[in-house]
Every structure is written in C-alpha cells, then in structure tokens.
Amino acid sequence: MTARGALSAGLVLLLAAPAMADAPDGGPAGTVVLEKDQILEDLAQQLFESREAADELRAINGIEQGAQPAPGQALKLPGPERRPAVSALHVCEQAVRKARQADAEEYAMERLEQALASLAKARSACQRAQYARCQTLADETWALARMARQESETKRSRRNRFAVSVHDGDTRVEVSEGDGIEVSAQKRSTTVPRGHSTRVKAGKAPDKPQPLPDPPEQVLPFPDSVLTTPSIHFHWRAADRAARYVLLIARDPGGRKPVRQLTTGETTYLFRSSLSDGEYYWFLRSVDSEGAVGSASPPRRFQLQSQGTGVTVEDADVVKDKP
C-alpha cells in the first residue's frame, strides 16, 4: 500500500472494533476446526466480526461458494495479509460515501462511476481472498473517490441554490449554497450571501439579509444504525431560532431521492414506518418563526431490516402534526 493508503488504514483501525486478542495480524493463524452445528458464517462472525468473510474462508479452502464443510473439518485461515487489505477496503468505502455526500452523483458522475466500478472489483478480490489485489484496487478506488469529491465540491461551489416563496404579498429569498445572489426591488439591491435570506414587502426595498436558522443536532438513530423494528424513534437537540423542524428521509446521501418528509414542532418523532428494508439517510432543517428554512444537517445513514414485511416505499409527502 502507498504511504497515503497506509495512513488512512491506520485511522480506520483506531475507529474500528478492537481485534481479537489472539489475532494480532488479521485473524487467528493456522487452522481451525469447524464445530458441530456450526456453519462458516458463524465462524466468520466469531473470528472477523463479519458473516460475509465466510466467502473468504471458502476461497482459501477451495470450497464451492454457498457450500458448507462437514463438522470437524480443519480449515485454513487467512494470514497477516488480510488486515491491511480489509482496512484499505474500509478506507475507500468511506471515501466513496464522502464523495456521494458532496453530491458527486450530480457534479462528478463519470468519476464517481469509475470509483464505484473499482470498489466492486476490490470487494470481489477480497471475497476471493486475493488480498494483495484487493489492497491495490482499494487504493485506486480511494484516489478516484477523492477526485470525484474534489471535482464535485469545486463545481457545486460555483452554483447557487436558492428558494423563492411568496406569502401575503411578501417575497422571501433564501440562499442555501453558492456565492450569493442579488435581489432588487424599488431601485435598490442587496446581495444575499449563502446561508441567509431576505424579505421583500410589496412596494418596499429588500430587507437586510438575515442568517438562516442552523440545523438541529441529530441524536437518534445513531450513525449507521441497523433497525429491526418498523417504528423508528428520531430525536434531535433544539436549535436556536427554530420554531419547527422538517425531517426528511431519503434513499441517497444527497437527499434527492426522498421517501418521506415530516414537519413537527417537537425535538422527537416516533415514525411508524411502512418503508421497505434497505439503506436510508435522514436530514433535519430548522424553520424560524417567519418561515425561513435553514440548511440541512449532514446526512445520517441507517439500515432498516424489519424482517421482510414485504411493504413498499411510500411516496414523499408532508405530515404536519403540530401547527
């Protein structure tokens, strides 16, 4: 691995679950005997905290994919080369997630697709216990994902995102991204910078831009939670100047594939979900007393595994449980 990749891998090891005491080099060395009533997935979970690692054990021992060896069979285990490969894989997966969070799907799609293709190859190499190839591909993925993120951030910074709303003759302009926009009325102009809004009353010049309310701090569900119940408890800390909150659940970290949007005046919401199993992200926005909507909180990922209820994802809508 390159020096850059080695440093990244070290960071992951500090954050990951501690390795087993007898596995300082990536797993118990030598062989292990499969116990009675034990399957490879159980053994992989025990040794590597990952049931998916069972495919690696199959590859190392020449066992057909999906097959189970007989109890009492001695199985060869990965050597010290596994740990740096798996660590590099975790690093590049994080890089891909960050690229997506930076809206690379919109601003750097070609580069992101290259990173995703490289990531798929790295995962496949790891599954086949080709750890040296996995590590090389993971480094390549990391570099591609980083370039996708940088390209996206550069292009996104040049583009303004703003919203215009009209209520009772008053016009409100809110700028969430970009370098700001100029608003003119009654021969007077004002520049509304990112993270600010202005109100233009009928027959008046634009008001002085005011900061948008900050997003609240997310509490529950915790990052990367795996939820096995269809009732999801969302909780967050109150934000200054927030009169109510908008909770968005989406299929992607950019929030462009929404499946549910909820509005509440509380800092907690019990969502009785009818969403299908899968990966989701949730975001929060604060709304002040004048109706200005602030920027979104960072996307927080959770996995829904409600034991295959067979329900489908709902269309996006708004539910107001508080005035």
Rounded Cα–Cα distance for residues 277 and 37 (Å): 29
pLDDT of residue 248 exceeding 90, the answer is yes
Residue tagged 């999801």 (tokens):
232
Separation of alpha carbons 185 and 297, rounded Å: 32
Percentage helix, strand, coil for the chain under 3-state DSSP, each rounded to 5: 30, 30, 40
Neighbours of 240 (CB within 10 A): 9
Confidence of residue 309 (pLDDT cuts 50, 70, 90): very low
**pLDDT tens readout for residues 154-168:** 887 666 677 777 777
The CATH homologous superfamily for domain 217-320 is Immunoglobulins (2.60.40.10)
pLDDT, mean of residues 189-198: 80
- For residue 94, the surrounding DSSP H or E stretch is helix 82-101
Structure tokens at 35: 């116990």
Tell whether the model's pLDDT for residue 4 goes beyond 70: no
* 120 contact partners, CB below 8 Å, separation of at least 6: none
User: What is the pTM (predicted TM-score) of this model?
Assistant: 0.49
- Tens digits of residue pLDDT in 109-163: 999 999 999 999 999 999 999 999 999 999 999 999 999 999 988 887 666 677 7
Domain ranges of the chain: 3-155, 161-211, 217-320
Contact 171, 163 (CB under 8 A): no
> Among residues of the chain, what percentage have pLDDT more than 90?
35
**pLDDT, mean over the chain:** 80
**Rounded mean pLDDT, 234-243:** 92
Q: Report the pLDDT value the prediction gives residue 10, as an integer from 0 to 100.
A: 33
